[in-house]
Structure formats: structure tokens, C-alpha cells
Amino acid sequence: MVTADTGNRLRIPADKLRRRCRPEELPWETTAQVTPLQDFIGQERAVRAMEFGLAMNAPGYNIYVAGPPGTGKSTYTQEVLTRRAARGTAPDDWCILYNFTNPDRPLAISLPPGRGQIFKRDMEELIGDVRTAIPKVFEGADYEQNKQAVLHELESQVQEALEHLRQDALQSGFAMKQGPTGFIFAPLKDGRRMSQEEFDALAPEERREIENRARMLQQKLDDMVNNGRFLEKKARERIQALEKEIAGLAIGPLVERLQEKYRDFPRVVRFLGEVAEDVTRNLDHFKTQESAPAQTPFGFPVETTDIFHRYQVNLFVNNGDTRGMPVVVENNPHYYNLFGKIEYRSFMGSLSTDFTMIKAGAIHRANGGYLVLQARDVLADPIVWDKLKKSLKNSQAVVENIGEHFRLIPTATLKPEPIPLNVKVVLIGSHYLYHLLHALDEDYQKFFKVKVDFDTEMPRTPENLEHYAAFVSSVCRRENLKHFDRSGLAELIEYGSRLAANQNKLSTRFNEVVEIIYEAAAWADMEASTNVSAPHVRRAIEERVYRSNRLEEKIQEMMVQGKILVDTAGAVVGQVNALSVLDVGDYSFGRPSRITAKTFMGQEGVVNIERETRMSGSLHTKGVLTLAGFLGSRFAQDKPLRLSARITFEQLYEGVDGDSASSAELYALLSALAELPVNQGLAVTGSVNQHGQIQPIGGVNEKIEGFFAVCRARGLTGEQGVIIPAQNLDNLMLKPEVVEAVEQNLFHIYAVKSIEEGIELLTGIPAGEKQPGGHYPEGTVFHLVDKKLRQYAEGLSSFGQQENKKEDGEQCSACGT
């Protein structure tokens, strides 16, 4: 049906259907001769952006690495950060210390890298030495002699006061005796104690006199007791001062030695002074030996407070073994992994904590370097994202448990000092998440000002072919695989162009390329080949397809059996084979679908049945609505466009979207209007605008191969083929079997730029050009279409006039005229 002139003019030669890489064009025998790849390839834009972002030290210049999966963005990010970090200096260690002034606010002190571990060990040795030295000095003769002197002096003062009071009592006629509850005063008569009978026999005035003298003596005794307590307090204070002095002599040199060692760190020196003061305030804990844990009367252990833990050093961040700046890749960035936590110990149903149980998170370990996070994981938890922004905004890393954000009732907990934050955060994610953050988070741009944009393709230049070969060489060496020979490398390069769907590009989705390298090498191993050659690469690709194309084969089988109606021969009015791509996750393939169109007189215009049944996406609906614009511009300049048309995808039950079938729908509509049959041996893909220009589409290779598979299964006739947009020529990287069929004139690919070219291919009749009078030449498709639309317009107008006359006649009858 295709006219010879039109077919020859629009037919694409076989050598344009796939850009070959001929093995003889490659200068290496095998990839073993190629120097392994050292740098990242194909991402010049991303490399420049990354270099800029890493060089910027201003606030907010954190980095978002955007790109689809498999482009190597995570690998590149880690490699470039590791290289750059190696040129930097390791950041400080951070220690969490007990705060003697405010125990709920532990101190955060920085030390040069490696000094934190030394300081921790020094403090352990210091407390060990103090615990040994203090008992020794208190066991010494000097301390005991001085202590006994104070106690003897106190006892002498007390005895002297007692003797003085005893003499006063004798002079007053009383004897002072020691009773079970203290001293008592007994009246005397003739030098002996007066009996109760003798006292009762005295005259009342004498008894009152004796009682008054007794009260005066009791008052003197009370004064003496109070003075004794005062003297005892003074003695205790003298002993405490003595103990502090002696302890100071014991621990002073130990602490001073450390203070001298850390004289360049004022906060450490001050902390050591506070340690010395605290030790002297708690000497009782150092003088006694460790005792067994306390227990209740029922034998249950009782939690005791260990005073010595406050002198420990919590080495919060240890950079002693860090060479250069830290690069921390946190693959599980939940709240506590990222921002640290305060742990608790449980005892008998209650919880307690202290400064030694404060643990660092990834943001603390990365401080002074780089923190790499997956954007999707971070955004999965809004609290994590919010906390990260606050940390970057305030340039502080604060450790607080997540419960502090939600508790209705405040609870007592530790609030360690914030640590100054100087970290470059690198988020790795998709373009979708990048744009989503820009649209929905007004703070995002403040903190992530550098976008590192990864592309999925690079130019297929001789230089990049060398890079591809170097990449293959590096993978083979790293994984200890067999090297690729020229033919295998050439086949892999063609596969790279197929992945990119562009003859002039190579795919940078290196994850998929690496998988083919692995699998081709495995097939070479199974065949005991010396190197990986082209058949092994083709086998790897074919087997990879075979593992995933079960659904494709089932659909093609149903088409061959006639269960899914698709004609590949003959001619039918208002029926066109359209092509679409079905994506099943790990595999996508082309599928032919029958589009039918029916037209009749009416004013509904072009109706998309899929839209009416809500099976059509917005892009497909837009494509259908475009058809009315084309018909109106071409055929309704001298008459109204009055038609009703129905267009549908037959046997399509999963819905449809995209406008790549809009040209096929227009061809079906023109065929129905012109009542011209369409060649069913041709399938069509391409979108169309209102001017009738054919526009490029995606998935062109899969679409052609899908229709080719059905035609081959039914038998190639030499009349079959596919019509594609001319703009998609450089996207053709068809399978070798399709190219071979074209070479043998068993199958054809046509490239069109306009609806006129396409309809002529499908019907074998010229489309026709509008003449100066506004009509189309007879014997053309557009003449027949214009004629049918004029019939619709005149017929509808005539029908309307008849209806109006009928209504007027009925009205006159009702009026009796």
C-alpha cells in the first residue's frame, strides 16, 4: 500500500538503526592493556559543582547530590570526600566531664586529636594515685599525733570545766555525781549526801534555798555543756582542716603535675582544680576501704552512689586514630544514631543516668569533616530532618533524647553543653526529592546551597570510549574478573548507547553496566574462555532479558493466538496499530495496541472513550484534545466543525497515559472521515501538535522491537514496519535481529515529520495541500476528509432547519392560526 516514492524517501537505512562500535576501531587487544580508571567519568557538571561546594566554607553551603539510581553518585561522593579529607587535619577530641557546680549540665571540653584518650588515662591514674595516697597519709604518725593533740586539748578543756563546776558545787553544798542520763547535783549535810527523809524534814525556807542553789548549778552545767559542744565543733573543724591540709599535701603534687601538663587548656586546668577541691570535701570516701554493696533487711541490694564516677572522663569523640578530616557515612540515620543519646540504667524498676552515659552520634563524629546521608532516609523521619536543620542553623550539636520533644510533663534529665558544629553535610537523593524540598521546605535553600547534578548519559566521543574501557579494566582488576577483548568491549559500548537510548551518547548508569560486566565474565568462566568476548556480552544481555520478560512473551503469545486483536496485514478503515511501552519494574517492553475511530454527524466533537471511563491520564487526554485543534485549523475555516467521533484503545484495561499515540489516533480519525483503509502492516508512534507536526517520543527502541516480535511470530512479509518521528533517529539502537530484517527488506522503519507524510504512508494516497481557494485537490486524503466534514455540517444545519419548521408549525396549530 505504501507508494514507492514515499516509502523510499521516508525509509531509514539499516546502517542508521544502530550505531556500531567495530572492534578494529579499538586500539587494545584486551582491557588488560588499558590503564584502570582513576577519576570519575561523564559527570563534568557534577564534578565542578562538588569541587565548588567542598571549597566553600561559608554557612549554608552544604551539598545535595541529585541523580537517578545507578549513576555512581554515592560511590563518587565517598571517593572524592575521602581524597579531600586526607589532605585536611583531624579535628579535636571531645570529652564530657562532671560539672561540680551544676551536675545536670555536664561539661564539654575539646582537646587535640589523641589527647582525649591520654587525658582519660591520666584521670584514671590520678584518681588511682589519690585513692592510694590519702589512706597512707591518714595512717601516718604525724596525722595521728596532730589529731590526738587536738583531741587531748579538747579533753583537757572539758575536764577543767568539769572540775571547776565540781568545786563550785562543793562550795554551794552539793556533790556532782555521774548519773545514767548525765550529771546530777545532790545536797550535802555534814559532808555526806542528804537523804530524802532529811531533805523533807527541813523547813520550807531551807528547801527553797537548796533548790535555788541547785538550779544555779544546773544552769552552770548547761552552759558548760553548750561550751563543750562549741569546743567539740571547733576541734572537729581543726581536725577537718588538718585532714584537708594533709590531703592537700598528698594530692597537691599529683594534681599540679597534671595541671602543668595541660597548662595550654584552661578549662582542663580549672576542672583539675575542682577535682582536688571535691576530693578534699569527700575525704571519708577515700579514707575507707571499699565495702560490700548495701542490702535491705530482706536481702535485696540497694543502689548506692559511687562518688568516684564523677572523676571519670567520658571520651565522647575520639579522633586519635583519625587521619585527616573525618568522613562519616551514616546508612541508618535514625535520631539516636545521628544526634547521640543519653542512656539510662534500670535498677529495681527505676531509671538513672549520669554524664558517662552520654553517647555521641554521627554528627558529632563527623564534626570537623563530612557527614554523608541518604536524603530519603533522613526525610522519612520529620524529627530527624527538623533536628538536622536546627543543628546547622545554630552551628551546635546538642545531645537530647527524642522524648524531650514530646513530654507533656518536664522530667529531670541531663543537659550537656552544646558542642560547636563545623560539618559539611552531603545529602544524596533523587531529583524528585530535591525539587520536593525546594517546593515545600522554605528553609531548605538556606542550608543546602550547592546542587551536584548527576546525568544519566555522556557524549560518545573517542575520549569517553577510552574512559569506558578504563572503567571496564578497573572493574575487572578490582573484582578479579576475566578481561574483555576487543569484541566484548565493543559490544559493551553498544550496550551503553542502548541504555542511553541515543547513538551519540553513552550511559552513565554504571551500576547496570557493572552488572553486565559481572554476568558476561560469568558466562566466559562457564565456557572456559580466556577473555570475555562479544558472544558472552550478548548472552549476558539476552539472559538478563529472559529472566524478566515472561509477561512480554505472554502478551505476544496472546496476540499470535488472536486473543489480543492486532492485525499485521491487510487494510482497515479507522483502525491503526499504536505502540506503547509497558514498564513492569525491572523490565520494560513495547506493546502494539489497536486504536479505532468512529465518526458520525453530531456536535460532541472528538470524545476519548478512555477519558470518559476514567482510564486516561492527563497527558493522554491532552493529546486527544489536540486533535480537535488540528481538524479545526485544517478543515473548519469555511464551515463549522460539526462532528461526533469516538476514539479508543481496544482491549486496554490497565489505563493509558502519555501523548505518544496522539498521531496514531489522528490517523485513525482521518481514515474514518475519509473512509480510506489503513495499512495494518504498519504501526505508529509519535505525538502531534495542532499544526500537524510530529513530535519525538520516548521508548522508541522498545516500541519498534515490540511490533517486530509480533510480526516475526506471524511471519515477516516485507510490507511491515513502524512509523516514528524523524527527531527520534539518533535514539535508535535496535537489536541486531531487527537491523538484519531491515537489511533483508523484510521489515521497514519510516521517519516522518508531519501528519501528511504519515497518512500517505498508511493509506498510499497523498494527503493533499490546500489550494488558494481553500479546497484540497481531488484524490487526496484531506479532500475526502473535508468533503465528509462539509456533509456533516450541511446535514446538521438542514436537519436543524427542518426541526425548527416543525416546531413553528406545532406552535401555529396551538394558536389556531
- Nearest C-alpha neighbor of 9 from the set 676, 681, 740, 723: 723
pLDDT of residue 678: 93
| Contact predicate 569/717, CB 8 Å | yes
Q: Are strands 107-111 and 93-97 parallel, antiparallel or unpaired?
A: antiparallel
For residue 761, CA distances in Å to 65, 278, 537, 757, 777 come to: 47, 98, 38, 6, 18
Which residue ranges make up each domain of the chain?
A: 22-40+456-546, 73-91+322-453, 122-287, 552-766
SS3 state of residue 371: strand
Residue type, 255: V
| Contact predicate 356/332, CB 8 Å | no
Q: How does pLDDT run across 33-92, given as a tens digit for each residue?
A: 998 987 778 888 999 999 999 999 999 999 999 998 888 889 899 999 999 999 999 999
State the residue for C-alpha cell 479508543: 648
What would the grid cell of residue 104 be? 545536670
Q: How far apart are CA 34 and CA 59, in angstroms?
A: 43
Q: How far apart are CA 95 and CA 314, in angstroms?
A: 6
Q: How far apart are CA 603 and CA 68, in angstroms?
A: 47
pLDDT of residue 537: 95
Architecture of domain 552-766: 2-Layer Sandwich (3.30)
Q: How does pLDDT run across 339-351, given as a tens digit for each residue?
A: 999 888 877 667 7
Residue ranges, the chain, pLDDT below 50: 291-292, 298, 300, 302, 610, 613, 615-616, 620, 817
Residues paired with 347 in a beta bridge: 350
Alpha helices in 262-368 (DSSP H): 266-281, 283-287, 335-339, 362-365
Q: 764: part of which helix (H) or strand (E)?
A: none
| Contact predicate 17/739, CB 8 Å | yes
pLDDT of residue 657: 52
Q: How far apart are CA 453 and CA 71, in angstroms?
A: 11
Q: How does pLDDT run across 773-792, given as a tens digit for each residue?
A: 888 899 899 999 888 888 87
Residue 89 is classified by DSSP as -
Q: Concatenated DSSP letters for 253-292?
A: HHHHHHHHHTTT-HHHHHHHHHHHHHHHHTHHHHHSPP-P
Q: How does pLDDT run across 688-734, given as a tens digit for each residue?
A: 888 889 999 999 999 999 999 999 999 999 999 999 999 999 999 99
CATH of region 22-40+456-546: 1.10.8.60
Residues paired with 187 in a beta bridge: 174
Contacts of 565 (CB under 8 A, 6+ apart): 594, 650, 651
- Nearest C-alpha neighbor of 575 from the set 670, 642, 690, 711: 670
- Nearest C-alpha neighbor of 556 from the set 398, 402, 781, 714: 714
Q: How many CA atoms lie within 13 A of 512 on its CB side?
A: 23
pLDDT of residue 686: 92
pLDDT of residue 613: 47
pLDDT of residue 144: 63
Q: How does pLDDT run across 530-584, given as a tens digit for each residue?
A: 999 999 999 999 999 999 989 888 988 888 888 888 888 899 998 999 998 888 8
Question: Could you give the dihedral angle defined by the CA atoms of residues 186, 187, 193 and 199, in that order, rounded to the nearest 10 degrees?
Answer: -110
SS3 state of residue 50: helix
- Nearest C-alpha neighbor of 646 from the set 597, 577, 613: 597
Please report the sign of the dihedral spanned by the C-alpha atoms of residue 782, residue 785, residue 789, residue 795: positive
Please report the sign of the dihedral spanned by the C-alpha atoms of residue 743, residue 749, residue 752, residue 757: positive
The verdict on domain 73-91+322-453 having CATH code 3.40.50.300 is yes
pLDDT of residue 411: 64
Q: How far apart are CA 198 and CA 218, in angstroms?
A: 22
φ and ψ of 539, to 5 deg: -65, -40
Q: How far apart are CA 416 and CA 359, in angstroms?
A: 11
Q: How many CA atoms lie within 13 A of 790 on its CB side?
A: 13
Residue type, 731: N
Q: 517: part of which helix (H) or strand (E)?
A: helix 510-526
Contacts of 176 (CB under 8 A, 6+ apart): 165, 166, 169, 183, 184, 185, 217
Class (C level, CATH) for 122-287: mainly alpha
Q: How far apart are CA 341 and CA 479, in angstroms?
A: 40
What would the grid cell of residue 259 be? 595541671
- Nearest C-alpha neighbor of 593 from the set 611, 610, 620, 575: 575
Q: Are strands 505-507 and 457-459 parallel, antiparallel or unpaired?
A: antiparallel
Please report the sign of the dihedral spanned by the C-alpha atoms of residue 431, residue 432, residue 437, residue 439: positive
Say if residue 220 is exposed, middle or buried (CB neighbours under 10 Å; 0-12, 13-18, 19+): middle
For residue 217, CA distances in Å to 157, 165, 186, 410, 609 come to: 19, 8, 11, 60, 121
Q: How far apart are CA 635 and CA 441, in angstroms?
A: 50
pLDDT of residue 582: 87
Q: How far apart are CA 405 and CA 435, in angstroms?
A: 29
- Nearest C-alpha neighbor of 795 from the set 806, 805, 787: 787
- Nearest C-alpha neighbor of 157 from the set 227, 233, 239, 238: 227
φ and ψ of 712, to 5 deg: -65, -40
Q: How does pLDDT run across 193-228, given as a tens digit for each residue?
A: 777 777 777 778 877 877 787 778 778 777 777 887
What would the grid cell of residue 133 be? 595516697
For residue 706, CA distances in Å to 564, 591, 594 come to: 14, 5, 14
